Each structure stands twice: as structure tokens, then as C-alpha cells.
């Protein structure tokens, strides 16, 4: 993907494109890599409703005044909900939170 013969140089933009493809596109069905969970944290701020299937290769944190409604299939790294934050998973939605090995 980097264009180099040995694929040793990947730009931040290319990394972002790869992570996006692994999060949203069908290629995520063929990648099972719990070791690939990044130490980056995706913060949920405000009120968010997720109604699209997604796999995150990073930590997920719901802030103290935030709410997240997951009405989809969510597969993510470790998940934290700080006191005062709200996480709602309606019937029919699936959520998997993976620990880091």
C-alpha cells in the first residue's frame, strides 16, 4: 500500500485509510486481530446514536456528561463509561468489548 517495494513506509493518511476500511467495509469480516487494538482512545462527547455496524481497533470511552446509544453491531477494544455517562444497547443490537492481551 505504501508504494515501496518492501512496504516499510506508511504515512499517517494511509494508516487512517486502512483503519477506516477495517472499521466500516466488508474487509473487517476477514480480520480478527485483538492484538491490533491501539492504545488511542475514542471519546464519545455529547449525545450520539450509532446505527451502523462498526469495529473499532481502539479503546472507547463515554464521557461523564455524554450518552451513547448503540443500535447496531459494535466490536471494540476496552470500553469505559465514566460516572454520569450513559450507554444504551437496545434489544437486537450486539456489542463486543475486547480486552487487550
pLDDT at 3: 57
Sheet holding 47-50, edge to edge: 47-50, 67-70, 86-88
pLDDT at 86: 93
Q: 32 or 22: whose pLDDT is higher? A: 22
Distance CA 91, CA 76 (A): 19
Query: For the residues 22-34, what does the mean pLDDT come to?
Result: 60
Report the SS3 class of residue 29. helix
Distance CA 62, CA 82 (A): 6
Distance CA 87, CA 20 (A): 23
Strand partners, 59: 41
pLDDT in tens, 47-98: 999 888 887 778 889 999 999 999 988 888 788 899 999 999 988 888 887 7
Report the SS3 class of residue 36. helix
Sheet holding 58-62, edge to edge: 38-44, 58-62, 79-81
pLDDT at 33: 57
Amino acid at each position: 500500500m505504501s508504494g515501496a517495494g518492501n512496504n516499510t513506509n506508511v504515512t499517517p493518511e494511509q494508516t487512517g485509510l486502512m483503519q477506516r476500511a477495517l472499521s466500516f467495509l466488508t474487509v473487517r469480516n476477514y480480520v480478527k486481530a485483538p492484538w491490533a487494538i491501539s492504545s488511542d482512545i475514542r471519546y464519545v462527547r455529547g449525545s450520539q446514536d450509532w446505527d451502523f455496524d462498526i469495529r473499532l481497533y481502539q479503546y472507547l470511552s463515554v464521557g461523564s456528561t455524554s450518552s451513547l446509544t448503540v443500535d447496531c453491531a459494535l466490536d471494540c477494544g476496552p470500553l469505559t463509561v465514566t460516572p454520569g455517562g450513559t450507554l444504551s444497547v437496545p434489544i437486537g443490537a450486539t456489542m463486543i468489548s475486547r480486552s487487550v492481551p
